[in-house]
Structure 1
Amino acid sequence: MSDSQSTAKEPIRTSGSAEETRGWIRGTVYVALFAALFVGASYVKSGPGAAVPFSLQSFAIMLAGGLLGAAYGFWSIFLVVALTAVGLPLMNGPGGTAQLFGPTGGFIWMFPFSALLIGWATDRLFAGRGKPRAKSTALLLIAMLVFGVLLLYITGVPWLAHVSDKLDFIGAVKIGMVPFLLGDAIKAVAAALIVAALRPLVPAVRPARKN
């Protein structure tokens, strides 16, 4: 009797292991894809010579967190930041500590955590749902604005004032925040709409959790 029970249970363990492996592979592929998207967005940049140039980095971060969820969203951005830290010029800069501790360092440090928190919010807003409701989309937009925009300013602007010899905090706000508010708001709206539309197609990227 015990042998037959063991035989009956074996396919279930094998199937679960195979599904976990497929989920891990899918997750790894999507981390790499969104890391590449983030690198590409870093090179869509304007304002050469500006202390904080305009780019699509935050837009890519919002998409990574919103579509991949907290864990994979975090790792997709952290991977690029980590490789930049060791010297690879992946974020339209020289790479290395010179970039991480330069004028935009305060923004860069927070990028992975921005994706993490956006993913955390999105995982909960759309858990077990098909098409998102208008209320969920509105809450998603708020999450994008808080975690994808405001959070970056909270660390980015004070650091800009700290490393600059010419800017105090108010000056850093005028240079590193005010000119970008409208553009960041537009990126947040666009990201929220894209995530709300595509999120129902994405849950299979993450391994299913079993009770």
Structure 2
Amino acid sequence: MNRWSLRGLIFSALFAGVMIALSSMKVSLPFSTVPITLQTLAVMLAGSVLGARYGTIAVLIVIGLAAAGFPVLAGRGGLSVLVGPTAGYIFAWPVSAFLIGWFAQRMSKGKFTVGKLLLVNFLFGSLLVYPSGVAWLVHSIPSLDTLPKALTAGMLPFLPGDFLKAALCASVVTAVWKVYPIERIVGGSSGAWLGKNAYEEKA
């Protein structure tokens, strides 16, 4: 990953569109201002498919469009969204995409790829997001004055879905890598991709 590539930037823009489309699918919860959406799945996919640099750019494009007022985050946009109750989650997404991509680029590809991707995506695409997300939620909503209330409103109900998203991402990305390895986007070998035979044999 030495130089910027037009291919990588194009894919970043395309994945920004995917994130916007997935964010429109949401389910509101009666006990929380945080809706269930597929935005985190899009962040996981961006990092896993595009790598650290271009996955992060894809997420930043969406945040930038939201800041400009476009309704790209679950049908909402504007600076009010970026300082609202869910802002702590939103600003953790670029970090998540970067770390997922960083590990994806260095991951050996083999029969345990699905499990490794699931672990990386759940850790960095889900668990990493909650400290800042819940902390800002508590800051924004004074009624969340106890830890159980905060965790119920901002974390615990979402974990099973996050695990399923991570599993879905791992399955999809493993299939994608077989025909379109991440190195075709980020460039170089990243120390992991050794060709089709290595994919089938290397653990």
State the TM-score, normalizing by the size of structure 2.
Answer: 0.84
For structure 2, which runs of at least 5 residues remain unmatched after alignment? 191-203
1:47 aligns with 2:28: yes
8 Å contact kept, 1:161–1:167: yes
Q: Which residue of 2 aligns with 1:181?
A: 159
Q: Shift of residue 199 of structure 1? A: 1.9
For structure 1, which runs of at least 5 residues remain unmatched after alignment? 1-19, 127-131
Q: Size of the alignment, in residue pairs?
A: 184
Q: Shift of residue 144 of structure 1? A: 0.7
Q: Which residue of 1 aligns with 2:55?
A: 73
1:81-108 deviations in Å (ceiling 9; x for gaps) = 1221232221124422210111110000
8 Å contact kept, 1:93–1:99: no
Quote the Cα distance in structure 1 between the aligned partners of 2:170 and 2:42. Answer: 12
1:109 aligns with 2:81: no
1:138-163 deviations in Å (ceiling 9; x for gaps) = 22211111101001111101111111
State the TM-score, normalizing by the size of structure 1.
Answer: 0.81
Higher Rg = 1
1:206 aligns with 2:186: yes
Q: Shift of residue 173 of structure 1? A: 0.5
Letter of the structure 2 residue corresponding to residue 76 of structure 1: A
Letter of the structure 2 residue corresponding to residue 207 of structure 1: G
Letter of the structure 1 residue corresponding to residue 161 of structure 2: G
CA 1:97–1:52 in structure 2 vs 1: closer, same or farther (change >3 Å)?
Answer: same
Letter of the structure 2 residue corresponding to residue 197 of structure 1: A
1:138 aligns with 2:115: yes
8 Å contact kept, 2:24–2:75: no
2:13 to 32, 38, 41: 32
Letter of the structure 2 residue corresponding to residue 118 of structure 1: I
Aligned alpha-carbon RMSD (Å): 1.9
1:99-139 deviations in Å (ceiling 9; x for gaps) = 0111110000011111110000100004xxxxx32333322
